[in-house]
Every structure is written in structure tokens, then in C-alpha cells.
Structure 1
Amino acid sequence: MYIPNSLWTWSFAIVTLTQTIITLALECFGFIYELVLVYDALRLKNTIQVIGLCLCNIGLLIYGAVQVQQIKEAVGVLTVNNAIDPDVWGETEPFLIIIPVVVAMGTLLMMIVAWKLYDEFAWSIYKHISADLRMKRRYLTYQIYIALLKFDLFFFIGFTVQFVVIVTNREDIEFPLTLAAIPVTIIILVCAALLVRRESGLGMIAIILLYFAAMAYFLFKLVRMYAPETYAEYLPARRSLTFFAIITLVLIVLTITNACMCMHNFHKGLKPHINKKKGSKEAEKANTELTSVAAGQVPNRMMID
């Protein structure tokens, strides 16, 4: 009985260590993805996306803290089996602890910057939408929905990639279905963004039904991760998978709610504001240049005022 148990613990440690490497790589990808979203938020002057990035950073902070215990378990099993040097954990623990500390400091700085940007972006929205409060609320709902789609993409794919790594039975139908979920997810989210811009009611209904299907999928995965018959398959990465699944389920509920609110705002005058052509931007730029030329005839103090 000792040999099978030893083989099981060895296999458990290898899978856990592999999953740990993947999750650390996924955390690095998360920060790169955040960097792209920061540029996108500043380009679009999307206050909601900036706030969402602060919340996402808090999520990555929790995710990094979770990895410390998971890596400790993997190193412990490998040490017992004489696979690695016993001093490995003592050498790596300080670096693993410093990761969430640095992320926490970065999150605090992001919150301060987000607070400073709020007034600047609010003025831009005022110039873009005008003083119509109802139209501003509709535009705000649209901004929330688009921001949610961008965060959905990361957490959907993050969960799927982790799941693919721990699935050891490649002949099971669940494995190819999980792989197929990655491109399908990307297509669905891209279509969701296009359909809300075009105010397609039937298309949005189809997208919302797909959101409910995604919710059922993640609930099914959660049940399998804790069911007595299948929990052993997910044990090496159950902690991080549960974190991603719960965050994704919360995002799906928020996305469905905002999708319904966006549908309620269809055909009420918002579409021209979110589908401006390049020609209008170029015309606005030309008008700005003409204004600057005309202003060049007045004193510099008047220009500054």
C-alpha cells in the first residue's frame, strides 16, 4: 500500500507544481493585460474601466496571496520524496510574500490616480454627451458593460487555461470541449460588444442566453471540484480554480444585468454618441486648429484663460 500512496503523492506534487508555474505565469499575464487596459481606459477616457482596474488589481493581490500556501504544499511533498533541496522553500518564501505586498502598494497608488482622473474624465463625458442626465446615465451603463466584457475575457480564459493544465485524461471529451471554450469565449465577447453598439435586440437576447449557459458551465465546474467522486482530480489547483470560478460567476451576473439595462436603453438616442465616425473627429480637430489660429491674434494671457 505504501508504493501506490507514494506514487500518488509524487503525482500530486508534480501536478501541483506544474499548476503553480502556470498560475504564476497567469498572474504575470494578468498584469500585462492590465497594462493594455490602462492604455485603453486612458484612450477612451473611461472612468468605469479605471475603477475596474483597481478592483482587478485587488483580485490579483488575493490571487497572489493564495499561491503562497499552494506552492508551500507542492514543495513540501517534493521535499518528502527527496525530489528537491529542503532549503528551497526557505529561499523562495520571501519572494512569494513580497509579491502581494508590492501589488498592494501598486493598488493603493492606482486608487489615488483613479480618484484624480475622475474629475478629468467626467468633464470629457460632459462635453461628449452634453448636460442631459438621462443620456449620461445611458452612456454610463454602456461604459460599464464594455468594461465588464474586457474583464470577462481575462477571467474566462484564465480559468480555462488552468483547467486544461490539470486535466490529465486527454481522451476524455471534457478536455477538447475545454479547449474549444477559449476561441468560443473570444468570439462571443467580441460579438457582444458589436451587437450593443449596433443596438441589435435579437442579437443581445442570444448573447444573454449564452451568458446563462456560461454561468451553468462554471457552476458545473464548481460542483465537480467539490463532489466526492471527482474532487481528487482538481485537488492540486482547486483553491485557485475556485477563486477564478467565483470571480467569473460574479462578473457574469453583473454582465447579464448590464446587458439587460443596455437593451432597455436601445433606440433612445445613445447610438450616435457611441458610433461616431472618424470624419466627425477629424472635423472636430480641424475646428480646434482654426480656433487656435484665430486665438493667436489675441494676447497670450487671453489664450491661457
Structure 2
Amino acid sequence: MAVEALLSTRAQRAFLLTILIQGIVVLTMVAVTFAFVAEHVEFSTQRYKTLPCYLSLFALAEIFELLMAFDALRLRNVIQLIGILVFHGALIVFAALQVHETRTALVGAPDTADFINGDGPGSLWKKVLPFLIVSPCVIAVSWFSLLFWVRQLYFEFGWAIFHVVGANPAFKVMYRYYQIMICLLKFDFFCFTGVTMQLLIVVLATNSAEFGLTIAAIPIVLVLLIACGYAVQREVKWLMSISLVIMLAAETYFIYKLVRFYSPDSRAQYESTRATLTVFTIVAFLILFTTFAIGLRCFSDFDKGLRRSKEHDVTVTGTKKYSQTSPLPSPGDGNGNMSERQSSYLGGGHLEPRISIE
């Protein structure tokens, strides 16, 4: 069993290449749709702002997914690979929603032959519809490919996790929650950015109070996520406590936005993007709440001997390998005396050498 170098195996290269290829295909389809519509309409008109928002979100999503995939391979993070699968599935839903959102924006006079506003044969809507349909289909096909490669990577990365935390089951559970927490913080960033981008591009007037509130929330949330990631890795209790409190406060922001989407006095301005905004906001709310819950679990694991392992995550870039026929690396190598800390955690009992790869 070996800790393979980054991108040195077929599964790693295929996983990253699958995401790259589907991203190029999808962004091409979205760009073609955007170009066709741009020839005939003005995007400054409120109802047509869905298209530039659609292109921006997909560009952000594809770049984010590619970076997350590379990061997961670099860290040998199985939890993050699973998160990418969930994220990819969400992209299928988002791409399907955009077919409806684009139709809402383009079709102002249903059942007519009007090229710009109609939905009959030869209309602008019929012209761009095939390109809109290709996106969710390509993402769906690539999802099954990713599922296969993640399964291969799951077995490949098992030894890397053992090398970080050893065979102690309790340490593996704590480390798994830590990985989930870090992964959730990254997805929190995307969801918040996605909601904010839609609001700033499609909905809000620059002279409105809500626009200013949305702009002000950006640095606050980014600082929160970075601070929380640092706190959970370094086990800084006071900073983690503040981060958890601010997370609860941030939940009220998402509730406020949901109310605004459907309030009689403001629902009209969200007409063309209400479905997508609602989905993004609910998902962001749920992920942030889950982050808060996992954060409490990680907080309870502070000072139990895992800090050095968290500070030295697996980031293999060379070709050094460990074999089961060779002496096993000590779980404490480079991380302090891990064996002593594991023994202390289990009440001072002697730890028998064993391997349990998950």
C-alpha cells in the first residue's frame, strides 16, 4: 500500500480531466446561448438579466469545482471528493432550472411567431433551447464517470489517512469530522458568492439600501469563513466560539432574503430569477446550519491530541511510498508523539499495532 504522488495515478488524472472536459463543454454551450441572445436583446433590461447571471454562475461553478477537485486530490480528502459529487449533482439541477428561467426571460408572448418574445418555431427561444438542454445532459453523464473514479480514489487514499492519524479509531472519527468541517466551509463560500452574484447582477439597484447591505455582507462572511477554518485547524477556542455565534447571525440574513423574494412589495424585482435564487438561498442556509452543527462537534474535540495531525494534512507531491512489507511509519512522525497521545486518549491502555483503512 502506498501514498501515491499527486496526479501519479490513472484515477486521479481521469477524475480531474473529467471535470475539466465537462466544464469546457458546458461553458461553451452557455457562451453560445449568451451570444445568440446578445444579438437581439439589451441585457440592461430587467427581464433579460438572467442570461449574464446564468453565464457568470456557471463560470464560477466550473472554476470552483475544478479547484476543489485539485485540492481534494492534493489533500487526499475523500470527504471532499464526496462533496464534489454532491455539488456536481446540484449543478444538474441548476442547469435544468436555467431552462425554465431562460424561457421566463425570453418568452413574453407565448404561442406567437414573434422572433424575440414568442416561443413558436423559428423564435429566439427555440434557437437557444438545444444549447440549454445540452448542459444538464453533459453534467449528468460526467457525474456517473466521476462516481466511478471517486470509488477508485476512496481505496487509493485510505493509506494516506492512516499515515496522518494512525490506526486509532477515535482519532479517525475526529479527523473525519475535521475534514467535513473544512469541506463545508469551502461550499459555504460558493453558495454565499452565488447568491450575492445573482443579487448584484440581476436584482438590486446600486442606489438601494439592500445593495449596500449585500456589499457589506461580502467581507464579513469571507472573514468569518477564513477565521473559522483557522480556528478549527489550530484549535483556537475563543475564535471558534465567535465564528459559531456569527454563523447563527448569518442564518438570519438568508431568512431575510427568502422573505424578500416573496413579499408583495418586492417579489416583482425577483421575477426572472426567483426559482434559482430560492434554491441557492435554501441550500446556503442548510449548508451553513450543517457547518454550525459540525463546528460544535469539532469544538468538542479540541485538546484531545489531534491538532498536530490537522496542521500536517497529507499533501504528497513527491514519490515517497510506504509498503506494508516495510516497517510502518510511526503515527507520530512529524506530529509529536502521537502514540503517547493516542494511548492517553484511550485511558493509558497499550495500543497494539494494527491497520484499519477507511
Q: TM-score, normalised by structure 1?
A: 0.84
Distance 2:42 2:65 in 1: 34
Q: Are 1:249 and 2:276 matched, yes or no? A: no
Counting matched residue pairs gives 278
Instruction: Choose which of 92, 99, 110 in structure 2 pairs with 1:68.
Output: 99
Q: Does 1:184 align with 2:220?
A: yes
* Structure 1 gaps, min length 5: 1-9, 292-305
Indicate conservation of the 8 Å contact 1:17/1:74, yes or no: yes
> Hey, what does 2:311 align to over in structure 1?
275
- How far the C-alpha of 1:58 sits from its partner, in A, is 0.7
The residue that corresponds to 1:143 in the other structure is 179
1:51 aligns with 2:82: yes
Alignment of 1:128-207 (within 5 A): 128-207=164-243
Q: Is the 8 A contact 2:80 2:183 kept in 1?
A: yes
Deviation at 1:118, TM superposition (A): 0.7
User: What is the aligned-residue RMSD (CA, Å)?
Assistant: 2.9
Whether the 8 Å contact between 2:251 and 2:288 is mirrored in structure 1 is yes
CA distance, structure 1, for counterparts of residue 87 and residue 322 of structure 2? 39
In the TM superposition, what is the alpha-carbon distance from 1:169 to its structure 2 partner? 3.1
1:16 counterpart residue number: 47
Indicate if the aligned counterparts of 1:128 and 1:273 stay in contact, CA closer than 8 A. yes
What aligned pairs does 1:108-127 form with structure 2 within 5 A after superposition? 108-127=144-163
Distance in structure 1 (CA, Å) of the matches to 2:274 and 2:292:
26
Instruction: Work out which of the residue numbers 127, 133, 136 in structure 2 matches 1:100.
Output: 136
Shift of residue 114 of structure 1? 0.8
> Residues 193 and 78 of structure 1: is their aligned pair in 2 closer, same or farther, counting only changes over 3 Å?
farther
In structure 2, distance between residues paired with 1:120 and 1:58: 23
Aligned residues of 1:167 and 1:175 also touching (Cα < 8 A)? no
Deviation at 1:120, TM superposition (A): 1.3
User: 5+ unaligned residues in a row in structure 2: which ranges?
Assistant: 1-40, 327-358
Distance 1:123 1:285, change over 3 A: closer
Please name the residue that 1:235 is paired with. Answer: 271
User: In 1, Cα distance between the equivalents of 2:54 and 2:269?
Assistant: 17
| Counterpart-to-counterpart distance in 2, 1:91 and 1:83 | 10
Partner of 1:266: 302
Aligned identity (percent) is 33
8 Å CA contact retained: 2:191, 2:283: yes
Per residue, is there more helix in 1 or in 2? 1
The whole-number CA distance in structure 1 between the counterparts of 2:49 and 2:236 is 44
Q: What is the match of residue 301 of structure 1?
A: none
State whether residues 192 and 207 of structure 1, in contact with CA within 8 Å, keep that contact through their aligned partners in structure 2: yes
Between the aligned partners of 2:266 and 2:87, the Cα distance in structure 1 is 30
Q: Is residue 40 of structure 1 aligned with residue 62 of structure 2?
A: no
**Would you say the 8 A contact 1:15–1:166 is kept in 2?**
yes
Q: Would the aligned equivalents of 1:48 and 1:144 in 2 still touch at CA under 8 Å?
A: yes
Distance change in 2, residues 1:276/1:11 (3 Å): closer
Partner of 1:25: 56
Matched residue, 2:108: 77
Q: CA deviation at 1:12?
A: 11
> How far did 1:78 drift?
7.7
Report the CA distance shift for 1:112/1:182 in structure 2 as closer, same or farther (over 3 A): same
Determine helix, strand or coil for the equivalent of 1:50.
helix
Structure 1, 123-132 or 48-57: larger mean CA deviation: 123-132
Task: Tell me the distance in 2 between the aligned counterparts of 1:63 and 1:166.
Answer: 17
